[in-house]
Each structure stands twice: as C-alpha cells, then as structure tokens.
Chain A
C-alpha cells in the first residue's frame, strides 16, 4: 500500500499549495506549472493533492469518468452504469510515454479475441475531470507536447488512426513540474498553464528541520501523525467545497477588471489569457477566503503566479520575471 503524505503537513511552499488549492476550486484556471530545485516537495505536493481533492460522482465503469449516463461516449461499452463516488483522478504522464498510451489506440485484446474494432482509452481519457501530472515537463518530447497543447485547449481528444474515429471529452487540469536548469519549456506550452510557481529549498534552517521532522514522524510514527493531519486535510477539503459554492455568487467590480487589464498591458503579456487567468484566480482566492467580492488585495496575492510565465523574455534582464511582476503590481495597484 502506498501511503500518501498529507497535503496540509507540507511545510512552507505556500505559493505552490495556494496555486493547487485554487485550481481545485476552479479547474477553469487551467493548470499549474511548478519549477524549482530537486527535493523541494514538488512531487510530494501533487501526490498529496490527489488524496486531498474532494471525490467526484461518476459512472462506475466509464473510462472517461462521465458524470451521468447521458455523457458516456458512444464507443465505450460500459457494463456497470451505476453512479458512484470516485476519487478525483490524478494521472501521471511519464516521460517517453508513447502517443498510443497518451491518446489511446486500437484495443488489441478485443481485436484479436473477438475480431472487433474497439478503442482502448489512453491517459487523456483517464484524466478527464481530474488532473494530469507531468514530472519533468520540460524534458517531454515535442510531439507529445503538441498533442497535449491541442487537447488542453479544446477539452476534447480526437483520435483518427488505424481506422478508428473516436472523440471523447478530456478536460483536465495540467500540472507540470521540472527543473529549469535542465531545459526550458516552449513558450506555447508555458502559456497553456494558468499559474506558474517557483519553488526553492527553504533557506531557513528551522524550516528545513521542521520538514525533515514531519517526514520522519510520517514514516516512523505513522498513526499519530496521520490522525492529526487527516483532520487538517478534512478541514481544507471542506473549505475547498465551500469555496466552490461561494464562487457561484462571487461579485466582480469593473474596477477589478480594469486593474487586470492594466496589469497585463503594463507587463506586455501576449494575448488575453493573462487577464482571464488573473480574474479567475483572484475570484477563486476570494472564494477560498470567504469574501464575497474580489479586491485588489486578492489580485496582489496571485498576480505573480498568474503572470510570471507570460512575459516576453528579456535576456538582459537578470532580475527575473517575478521581480518584474512585483514591480508592476506595486506601480499599477499603488
């Protein structure tokens, strides 16, 4: 049995945790990119997120986790059509996964044994309504990246190969992690991530000691440790569910919209995706904090995550994108 380290027990890395929680509140934010050193808890956080997320109602035997019988794709032969509560899928896309495994392919078993032409769903189908996690996303092969871009944008996976013509919904939150020293990510893919966070090892010794201490307690005093942190996780889960409700009635002033637009114009980010993400994320944060309207304070807290990967890269600016965003936020929201 795999034991998962509880999400709430992760020390520090507040920006990363916040970004993940916000995508759980509003999946429309569109994914999180986590860039940083090794051993800073990137993979731990993603696996913990899987255990934290509220479960979804889905058709038991459905390969794409359809919410109701009507939504089951016609190619799927689903025997068990009862609606059950499933954990939110968090699917790993390993480096070097073949196209077949990602998008799905002809089902060899059925073809050989029954002589039927059937579709074997791939990772994208399994990730529908959940999360798709790519570790070392910056090392992913280009043709897989192209596939993902296309699907992430359309929310639908279209397979036209081997005489198959299949489509199914593939709406998922893309979570990517990587170490920027080992390779850059193409700007096209960068832009598809709603939020991006930079993580680093904590410099504070006490914080580091606390990390190790909790991990050690997790391994060697499992029961007591989990008893405490399971309660924390449940509280967080309840907050996420409450925030999803609050979000429906969230009010947004025109002034906030103006602020979003002004931030993006000043930073010179391409396209309108910056504004949209900024707004959605700020709304999700406001909902998470139980506020009923978005304020400048919310914008301030999430501006860096929402915008830092959308800037045109200036090779001569050594200050880095985070500083640039902070500077502009200070100016615009002064």
Chain B
C-alpha cells in the first residue's frame, strides 16, 4: 500500500497529463469528499486546462441546457425563434459535482458526448459515501484517470503548481509522440492480466503514456510513461489480483487468458525475449498500489447492486412514489399543484396573435387562466408483499393456524398503507398462486381461511412461484418483497419427486436466483425447533431469517413489519 504523499504526487502527475490532452483522455474521476484536499486538486485541474472553457453541470441538468433548445424568454420577447446553444455544442471541459447522483439519462448523454470525440472532457467529482454509490459505469469506463483521494489529509497535499510552459510545449509536442508497437502490446496484455474486460482501458492508458512522454519533452514513450499509465489508468480498474503469492482464488476463469500464466517465471522469460519493456515491471508497479482490500472490494462490487438502474441515485427510494408522468391537464393553480410551464405556453401560443389584436396596448405574453396546464403524475403505492405459505402436512400440524393469523394482521397493515398483497401456497407436489396481487382485504382473508393443509413440502416450487410473481409485478412498476413462511423440511423436488436432498438443492438454487434478481425477502421459520438448513437458505437468498418457535400471531406480525421496513 502506498502512502499518502505517493498518492498525492501521482495525482499531481495525473493532473499534468490531463492538462496536456484533456479531450483525448476523456476526463478525471475524482472520488473524494468535498473538502480542502479535493479543492486543491480541482484548483490544479482548472489551472492547467487549455483555453477551452469550463462549464459546470449539475446532476439534474436539462436537455435544453445540454444540447441547446428554444430560449423561451428571448423567443417570447422578440417574437422570433431564439435558440440557446447547449453545453455539448462547443468543446468544453465539464465539471460534474455530485457525480454519483447523476441519473442514468444524464450519464448516457455525457457518454455520448465523450464518444463523439468532439473535444469534451469530463471532470467527475464523486462524493459517494457507500461503495455502491458511485459514478455510472458507462462514464467511469470512458474517463481515463480514476483518483481516490478519500484517504488523504490536507497536510499531505501541498498546493499543485502548474507549469504552464511545460504544458504548452507538451501540447505542441503531443502529435509527434510515438509509441512502439510493443508498448501497446504490453498495456493490452497487462490489462488482460488484471482482469479488465473493457478495451477502452488499454487505449486510454496508451494516450496517457503519450501525454506523459510529451510532458517530459520526449517523442518516444518510454518505460516511465508506461508505468505511470499503468498506475493511473489500469490499476484502479483491476478486477483480478495479478498472479502472485496472494493469487486470487476466485479469479474468473473466462478472464484467464491463455497467456496469463500460472507460473510467473514463464512470463518473465517470455517478456524478456520479445519485449523491450518487461510487462512484469509494470505489473509490480501496479501491484504496489493496488489496495490491500481489493478482494473485499471485489466481493462488494460482485454483490448484486441495489439499484437496477445502476445510477447511484437514492437507491432506497427507487421507483417509489415518483410515478410516471401523465399528459398535463388544464387546471387552476391552487398553490399545491405544479404548473407545467411548457405545456401552458403551448396552450397559449396559438392564440397570441388574436389576443394581441384584442389588446394592442398590452406588451408581452397573453396568457389566460384557461391556458394553465398542471403537471400530473400517476401515483402508485406500488409495494407488493408476496406471501409464500407452506401448507404441507408437517406445517399444518404445527403452526399453520398461527401463520394465518399473522398474515391477516399484516394484511390489515398492508391495507392501511395501500400496499398490495399476493398469496401463494405450496403443498403436495406444486405451488399455487391463490391470490394474484390485490388490495382486496376481504378476498385475501377468505382465500387464506380456506387454505387447506397436508401433503409434502415443495419449498423450491413455492420459491419459484414467488419469484415469478415478483418478476411480473416488477414489470408493472411494483416493488415486490417475498415473505416465505415454512417449517423448512423441504422434501419434494422441483419436478415433483419426493427426494429430500434434491429438494434442498433446488431450494438453494432458487434462493440464489432470487438474490440475483435483487428481490428483498424474509424467511420465517415456523417449525417448533429452528432449522439450520432454513437459515442457510435465508442467507443464500440474502433474506432476513426469523425463527419464531414460540410466537403468536401478534409477535409474528410485529417481526415481519420490522424486518420489511428495515
């Protein structure tokens, strides 16, 4: 692990290289909390920028500001169409604060702008606190330099000096900088060994190496430049620890290229034979700055992301309560409604000449109250609670009645919150959807009361039915959660055969699938003695496990509400 001053001096070099070729490198992703360290870095970046202009974006920036559009106020006052030019119209550096909050839409647009290679560069300031709160991957892939400054203190970070002469000279020199074909080979091989699938990475690394060479006043990329490129561009993207004594046991097999050797000595020889710059020197350099907790980070990044949109915007609230926009309606402004400005102007626009004739002395827009359009959203309380109830013989013997009581209590709560509920029972050989998602309390109670018991425990079939229902409801904009209520003695496999080991295995497989689909779940063990197998299943599903050996309906209900609201 490198120490703070190392990180800072590398950051300084990165800033200098970026100043040489901002558009080519795409940009810088700075992961740091707002504070003096970040301020110093940003000041350094801004000081070194070529005279290309700088625009500040914000995460909720509109299309009109980005791409340009009709300048409404100018258009209305002059009576002629006035267009404003957008930020993406001219080459510019874009400073994006709170980059982790940028929506998928904004990220896609910025990625488009970077792809076009029109001279745009992005400086993304990411203040994400959680590991999965970060810049959208589509943008992260397109900006060359990734810096993580969270570990630094101000004391370690002297003010960045900008050497304008050197940068200006380097810019002039840049087109003449040559890279040997071997340099390119080395970077590509290295990125493959680090498990970087994107092919943008080696390309950006090569550009950084060129910028670095230009900065040194050289016309040929040398080892030093390649090392810097590997450290700044490739190391932060590594997903596999390179072959070494701490070899990653879980290295993904498909990323193990035929050339990535199991025996490190093999490469050393090979590289020395045909490469002037040994790959392993670079590898050592990268290894030196790879965080020691890379494995832990990898585990975190492999765990299902909480937001399917992967935009890093308020994960917890995703999809809820915002509703889908409906066409605006005429209406009055009562202080609570939001006016839809554009729709209002549209409604008023065709009448302007007529109204202007009626009131020739009035200047400006003629907007009447009946032009007002109100913004509307389709409000949906879209939580769905799917109960998968074990109605097998063993469960019926013990606690089915209590489970029914608990569900009824939960139903009442769900009703009060306008949540929807669905009911699945599994017994005998298969599962059955007793009640598709509904808000009808009466109907649910009736079906629940009539729920028969007896037969085997096809737990896997129950899980599958619950998962399918959850997936369907997701498609309709609901947010499903699954509550499995069982005594855990799965003895019927998916195919309906009475095969205990197979049944347990099927249940585990489905548990994994449910987790991978990112469906929150809760497993309630209603057996008289808690089943360790069921606890395993719960952890496979990423679910909360609630053993309730001596619970009454009231306690069960409380436990469920707490677990699901957490």
Interface, chain A (partner B; CB < 8 A): 2-3, 37-41, 43, 47, 92, 94-98, 101, 105-106, 108-109, 111-117, 135-136, 139, 141-143, 161-162, 179, 182-183, 186, 200-201, 203-205, 208-209, 211-213, 215-216, 315-316
Contact of A136 among B76, B138, B354, B475 (CB under 8 A): B138
Return the chain B residue nearest A37 by Cβ.
Answer: B197
A111 B188 Cβ-Cβ under 8 A = no
Whether B257 pairs with A204 at a CB distance below 8 angstroms is yes
User: B199 near A117 (CB under 8 angstroms)?
Assistant: no
Interface stretch (choices B110-118, B281-289, B398-406): B110-118
A203 and B257 within 8 A (CB): yes
With a cutoff of 8 Å between Cβ atoms, the chain A residues found around residue B112 in the complex are: 92, 94, 135
Residue of B nearest to A313 (CB): B471
| B203 contacts A183, C-beta separation under 8 Å | no
Residue from B63, B107, B257, B349 in contact with A108 in the complex, judged by beta carbons closer than 8 Å: B349
What is the bound-complex CA distance between A117 and B349, given in angstroms?
9
Task: Determine whether the beta carbon of B76 is less than 8 Å from that of A215.
Answer: no
- The 7 A-B pairs with the shortest beta carbon distances in the complex, nearest first, are A96-B105, A39-B198, A111-B349, A115-B353, A95-B108, A201-B197, A109-B81
Q: Are A40 and B199 in contact (CB under 8 A)?
A: yes
Stretch binding the partner chain, chosen from B178-186, B412-420, B432-440, B548-556: B178-186
Q: In the complex, which residue of chain A has the Cβ closest to the Cβ of B210?
A: A220
> Is B290 close to A, CB under 8 A?
no
Output the least CB separation between A135 and chain B (Å): 6
CB of B335 within 8 A of chain A? no
Instruction: Indicate which residue in A41, A97, A116, A205 contacts B257 across the interface (CB closer than 8 Å).
Output: A205
Q: How far apart sit A315 and B516, CA to CA, in the bound complex (Å)?
A: 11
CA–CA, A190 to B254, complex, Å?
27
Asked if A209 and B327 make an inter-chain contact with CB atoms under 8 angstroms apart, the answer reads no
Within the complex, the shortest CB–CB distance from A167 to chain B, in Å, comes to 18
**B116 engages A106 (CB within 8 Å):** no
* Residues of chain A lying within 8 A (CB to CB) of residue B325: 143
> Out of B79, B188, B202, B343, which one reaches A112, CB within 8 Å?
B79
Q: Are A212 and B202 CB-contacts (below 8 A) given A38-B197, A111-B349, A112-B79?
A: yes
B187 in contact (CB, < 8 A): yes
- What chain A residues lie within 8 Å of B179 (beta carbons)? 216
Which residue in A39, A96, A135, A142 is a CB contact (below 8 Å) of B200? Answer: A39
Question: In whole angstroms, what is the CA distance A222 to B538 when docked?
Answer: 58
| Contact of A162 with B184 at beta-carbon distance under 8 Å, contacts A98-B63, A112-B79 already known | no
Shortest CB distance B275–A (Å): 12
Q: Does B70 contact A (CB under 8 A)?
A: yes
Indicate whether A215 sits within 8 Å of B203 (C-beta atoms), given known contacts A94-B108, A113-B81, A115-B350: yes
User: How many Å lie between the Cα of A109 and that of B347 in the bound state?
Assistant: 13
Q: Which residue of B lies closest to A213 (CB)?
A: B184
A66 to B162, CA, bound (A): 56
Asked whether any CB of chain A lies closer than 8 Å to the CB of B477, the reply is yes
Contact across chains for A38 and B138 when beta carbons are under 8 A apart: yes
CB distance from A239 to the nearest CB of B (A): 27
**Residues of B within 8 Å of A, CB-based: how many?**
71
Q: Does B346 contact A (CB under 8 A)?
A: yes
Which A residues are CB-close (under 8 A) to B206?
A: 212, 216
Contacts of B354 in A (CB 8 A): 115
Query: How many angstroms between the C-alpha atoms of A243 and B506 in the bound complex?
Result: 50
Given A92-B112, A108-B346, A162-B346, residue A37 in contact with residue B198 (CB < 8 A): yes
A116 and B202 CA atoms in complex are apart in Å by 55
A205 CA to B270 CA in the complex, in Å?
A: 14
- Report how far A115 CA is from B346 CA in the complex, Å: 11
Cα distance, A201 to B200, chains bound together (Å): 11
B189 touches A109 (CB 8 A): no
In the complex with contacts A136-B108, A182-B308, A205-B189 CB distance below 8 A: yes
Expressed in whole angstroms, the Cα–Cα distance for A86 and B200 within the complex equals 32
Instruction: Report 19 cross-chain contacts, Cβ distance below 8 Å, ordered by A residue.
Output: A2-B117, A37-B197, A38-B197, A39-B201, A40-B199, A92-B112, A95-B107, A96-B103, A96-B104, A101-B63, A109-B81, A112-B79, A135-B111, A136-B108, A143-B324, A161-B327, A179-B137, A315-B464, A316-B510
Indicate the member of A37, A200, A205 with the most B CB atoms within 10 Å: A205
With A182-B310, A213-B184, A315-B513 given, is the CB distance from A39 to B199 under 8 Å?
yes
Q: Which residues of chain A have C-beta atoms less than 8 A from B106's C-beta?
A: 96
Kindly list chain A residues whose C-beta atoms are within 8 Å of the C-beta of B116: 2
Interface centre among A97, A112, A143, A203 (most CB of B within 10 A): A112
Interchain CB contact (< 8 A) of B308 among A94, A183, A203: A183
* B232 within 8 A of partner (CB): no
Flag whether B352 is at the interface (Cβ < 8 A). Answer: yes
When distances are taken between beta carbons in the complex, the residues of chain A under 8 Å from B192 are 205, 208
Contact A115 B141 (CB under 8 A): no
**A contact residues around B118 at 8 Å (CB):** 2
